[in-house]
Amino acid sequence: MGIQPGRVLIVAGSDSGGGAGIQADLKSVMALGAYGTTAITALTAQNTLGVQGVFPVDPAFIARQMESVLDDIGSDAIKTGMLHSAEVIDAVADVLEARCSDLPIVVDPVMVSTSGHDLLEPAAVQTLTRRMSLVATVMTPNVREAEKLTGLQITDLDSMVHAAEMLRTTGPQAVVVKGGHLEGGEIMRDVLASGSGTRVFEGPRVETTSTHGTGCTLASAIAASLAYGLGLEELVERARAYLYTALRTAPGLGKGHGPVNHAH
C-alpha cells in the first residue's frame, strides 16, 4: 500500500474549457500531491472568451455527491467554489455542518467570471455570507468579491487589509483577500487576516493575459496544503509560489483569457 495522500473534497462548478472551476481545482490539488474528489454544482459551457451557458445541478443531488464521497473515501479538507444559487448554498452548508465540522474548509466566494458572467445569482450574496462565513476555516475572496461581501470600496492595500479584517469578524478563522484584480503596479499582493494578526504577501506580478482560473487555483492550493496540516502563513506562501510558476509558464491557449499551467 502506498502513502495515503491528503484528500480534498471540491464542491464547485465545471468549466468545459478546463481553465477554472472543478478542472483547475483538481489539477492544482493533484499537482500539490493531494487526492481530489468532487461534487459538481453546475456545468458551464465555457472557453477562454467567456461563459456561453450555465446548467445548474439539483441541490439535493449536489448533497448526494458530497455524501457519497464522505461515506466511503472521506476527506481531510473541503474546498467550495461556484455555488450558483441560495438553494445550492443551503444544501452544501447543511452537509458541511452535519458532516464536516471537524475539517478545514476553504470557501472561495465565487461570484462573477473574469468575462463578466454571473456565477452566483446576485440575490444569493446574503445567503453566502450568512451560511458560508460560519462554516469557513479560510475564506478567499478576490478584491471584487470582498467589496460585495463588505460593502467597502477597495482601491489600495489599506482597503484590502480593512476588508480582510472586517470579513474575519463574520466567522472564518482566516481570510485571504486576493489582490490580483487591483490595477497597476509591478507587485502582486495578497492579504491574510487571522487570529495571529494581518500579514501582507508580496511578489512580482506576472504580465500575462492567461489569468483564467487563478482564483480557483490559489484557493485549491490552500485547501491541498490544509489537507496536509500546514500552518496558515506557510500554506499561503506555498499556494502563491505554485500560482506564480503556473502563470509564468501558462500555455497560451485560446483567444481570450487563457488557462495557467498546472504541469510544473
Three-class secondary structure of residue 205 per DSSP: coil
Q: 80 or 162: whose CB is closer to ligand PLP?
A: 80
Of residues 6, 13, 36, 172, which one binds ligand PLP by CB under 6 A? 13
Of residues 11, 12, 39, 174, which one binds ligand PLP by CB under 6 A? 12
Site string for ligand PLP, 81-120 (x = CB under 6 A): xx---------------------------x--xx----x-
Positive or negative, the Cα torsion across 113, 99, 36, 203? positive
* CA distance linking residue 100 with residue 230, whole number of Å: 19
Q: At its nearest, how many Å lie between ligand PLP and the CB of residue 102?
A: 26
Q: Should residue 20 be labelled a site residue for ligand PLP when binding is judged by CB under 6 A? A: yes
Q: 69 or 216: whose CB is closer to ligand PLP?
A: 216
Cell reading at 166: 472586517
Angle at Cα 83 formed by Cα 176 and Cα 28, nearest 5°? 55
* CA distance linking residue 194 with residue 204, whole number of Å: 24
79 in active site: no
Q: Should residue 133 be labelled a site residue for ligand PLP when binding is judged by CB under 6 A? A: no
Work out the number of other CB atoms within 10 angstroms of the CB of residue 14: 21
Q: Which of 178, 179, 217, 258 is catalytic?
A: 178
Exposure string for 25-46, b = 16+ CB within 10 A, e = fewer:
bbbbbbbbebbbbbbbbbbbeb
Three-class secondary structure of residue 206 per DSSP: coil
* Alpha-carbon dihedral angle through residues 243, 36, 259, 191, given to the nearest 10 degrees: -30
Of residues 215, 225, 226, 260, which one binds ligand PLP by CB under 6 A? 215
215 in active site: yes
Residue with cell 492544482: 28
Q: At its nearest, how many Å lie between ligand PLP and the CB of residue 214?
A: 6
Site string for ligand PLP, 27-66 (x = CB under 6 A): -----------------x-x--------------------
Q: Should residue 227 be labelled a site residue for ligand PLP when binding is judged by CB under 6 A? A: no
Q: Should residue 216 be labelled a site residue for ligand PLP when binding is judged by CB under 6 A? A: yes
C-alpha distances out from residue 182 to 61, 144, 235, Å: 37, 9, 22
- Contacts with ligand PLP: how many residues (CB under 6 A)? 18
* CA distance linking residue 192 with residue 55, whole number of Å: 34
Q: Should residue 258 be labelled a site residue for ligand PLP when binding is judged by CB under 6 A? A: no
178 in active site: yes
148 in active site: no
Residues at the contact surface with ligand PLP, assessed by CB under 6 A: 12-13, 15, 20-21, 44, 46, 81-82, 110, 113-114, 119, 212-216
Residues tagged active-site: 178, 211, 213-216
